[in-house]
């Protein structure tokens, strides 16, 4: 049980985006609970340490969350703030995802100094991305393109345009907007072209199951449309047994008490894309995601994912 006479400690990665997210949660908590002191506990994760290898080659799940969750388990922090798309679907024992908040823009964004959109890229153009999901969908649209794997924070990846002679890079619009780089976005890529990562644009607040005080405090971050959509998307991902480095995409929305979700599995070379849609009442969000995953697996997704794993892809 959390003590009431000490600050609430938020575990976070040290990147500019992670710190922005943690400071946003900190400010909202202090506003909602006058007198509450909130401190940040910056932590370096495995994914932060390995910057010279593409994420798909690193392998494993929880690259950006494992050390943060350990801080919660050991009592060095009371709350973790994650980019939800980085959070594995299997929870560490004793921990719970207890808040999501309002979702930011879910779309991918194209950043370029010379080209107006991915559709108008010149033949054979070099485009940077750290995501197999983006790579698969971009090559499906434009098989002539050269995909260059890039790592690093948002600013580092944008610098790669000049450093590596790229025509542009693809990043999450949410991160660009949160860090004040919205004016750098050349094109918001529609979901019909690049379906987002599972839970892209949403925050995940994680705490200990037995810490009733912290769970009560973060209840202000409940946003039903986001929570229902993310529940469906993560159920989809869990059934596919995938992680954030696998060419899997999904986007759910809530409207009129019903959740609608579109999901995708693609081959890394973009030659095969299995895409389908499902819907159901919001109370059955998990079932909507699972059943959509089953249909995609049966339609060829199972074979595609097997190939990804057999060629040394992430697990």
Question: What mean pLDDT comes out for the span 106-110?
Answer: 98
Mean pLDDT estimate for the chain: 90
Q: How far apart are CA 153 and CA 159, in angstroms?
A: 10
Buried b (16+ CB within 10 A) or exposed e, 173-195: bbbbebbebeebbbbbbebebbb
The angle formed by the CA atoms of residues 100, 104 and 109, to the nearest 5 degrees, is 135
Q: How confident is the model at residue 66 (pLDDT cuts 50, 70, 90)?
A: confident
Buried b (16+ CB within 10 A) or exposed e, 230-254: bbbbbbbbbbbbbbbbbbbbbbbbb
Residues contacting 307, CB < 8 A, separation 6+ = 267
Q: How confident is the model at residue 130 (pLDDT cuts 50, 70, 90)?
A: confident
Q: How confident is the model at residue 46 (pLDDT cuts 50, 70, 90)?
A: low
- Characterise 124 by phi-psi region: left (phi > 0), alpha (psi -120 to 50), beta (else): left
Residues contacting 248, CB < 8 A, separation 6+ = 133, 198, 237, 240, 242, 263, 264, 265, 305
Residue 249 backbone phi and psi in degrees, to 5: -140, 155
Write down the pLDDT at residue 315: 43
Write down the pLDDT at residue 150: 93
Q: Which two tokens stand for residue 133?
A: 């999901």
Measured from the Cβ of residue 15, the count of other Cβ atoms closer than 10 Å reads 23
Place of tokens 């890529």: 189
* Neighbour-count burial of 75, counting CB atoms closer than 10 A to its CB (0-12 exposed, 13-18 middle, 19+ buried): exposed
Write down the pLDDT at residue 1: 42
Residue 225: pLDDT over 80: yes
Question: What mean pLDDT comes out for the span 274-301?
Answer: 97
Residues contacting 49, CB < 8 A, separation 6+ = none
Write down the pLDDT at residue 86: 85
Write down the pLDDT at residue 164: 96
* Neighbour-count burial of 206, counting CB atoms closer than 10 A to its CB (0-12 exposed, 13-18 middle, 19+ buried): buried
Lowest mean pLDDT segment, chosen from 95-99, 103-107, 145-149: 95-99
Question: What mean pLDDT comes out for the span 245-266?
Answer: 95
Question: What mean pLDDT comes out for the span 110-134?
Answer: 95
Lowest mean pLDDT segment, chosen from 99-103, 121-125, 218-222, 265-269: 99-103
Question: What mean pLDDT comes out for the span 126-139?
Answer: 95
Shortest CA distance to 65 belongs to which of 23, 14, 13? 13
Q: How far apart are CA 237 and CA 93, in angstroms?
A: 20
Question: What mean pLDDT comes out for the span 189-218?
Answer: 96
Q: How confident is the model at residue 245 (pLDDT cuts 50, 70, 90)?
A: low
Strand runs labelled E in the chain? 8-12, 38-42, 79-83, 95-99, 108-111, 126-129, 146-149, 168-172, 187-189, 203-208, 248-255, 258-266, 273-281
Q: How confident is the model at residue 47 (pLDDT cuts 50, 70, 90)?
A: low
pTM for this predicted structure: 0.90
Residue 184: pLDDT over 90: yes
Measured from the Cβ of residue 74, the count of other Cβ atoms closer than 10 Å reads 8
Quote the percentage of the chain above a pLDDT of 90. Answer: 79
| Residues designated as active site | 86
Task: Give the sheet arrangement for strand 273-281, strand by strand.
Answer: 248-255, 258-266, 273-281
Write down the pLDDT at residue 308: 85
């Amino acid at each position: 049980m959390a003590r009431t006479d000490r600050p609430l400690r938020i575990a976070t990665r040290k990147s500019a985006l992670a710190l922005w997210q943690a400071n946003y949660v900190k400010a909202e908590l202090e506003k909602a609970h006058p007198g509450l002191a909130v401190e940040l506990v910056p932590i370096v994760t495995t994914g932060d340490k390995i910057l010279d290898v593409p994420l798909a080659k690193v392998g494993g799940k929880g690259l950006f969350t494992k050390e943060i969750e350990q801080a919660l388990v050991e009592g060095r922090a009371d709350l973790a703030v994650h980019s939800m798309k980085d959070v594995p679907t299997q929870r560490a024992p004793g921990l719970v995802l207890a808040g999501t908040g309002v979702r930011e823009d879910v779309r991918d964004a194209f950043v370029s100094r010379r080209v107006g959109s991915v559709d108008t890229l010149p033949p054979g153009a070099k485009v940077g991305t750290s995501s197999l999901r983006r790579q698969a969908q971009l090559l499906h649209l434009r098989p002539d393109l050269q995909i260059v794997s890039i790592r690093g924070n948002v600013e580092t990846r944008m610098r790669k345009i000049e450093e590596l002679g790229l025509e542009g890079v693809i990043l999450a619009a949410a991160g660009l907007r949160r860090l004040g780089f919205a004016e750098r976005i050349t094109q918001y890529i529609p979901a019909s072209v690049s379906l987002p990562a599972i839970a892209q644009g949403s925050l995940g607040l994680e705490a200990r199951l037995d810490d009733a005080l912290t769970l009560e405090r973060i209840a202000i971050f409940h946003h039903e449309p986001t929570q229902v959509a993310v529940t469906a998307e993560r159920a989809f991902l869990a059934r596919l047994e995938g992680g954030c480095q696998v060419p899997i995409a999904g986007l759910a929305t809530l409207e009129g008490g019903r959740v609608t979700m579109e999901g995708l599995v693609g081959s890394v070379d973009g030659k095969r894309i299995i895409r389908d849609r499902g819907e159901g009442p919001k109370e059955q969000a998990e079932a909507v995601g699972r059943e959509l995953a089953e249909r995609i697996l049966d339609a060829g997704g199972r074979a595609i994912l097997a190939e990804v794993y057999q060629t040394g892809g992430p697990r």
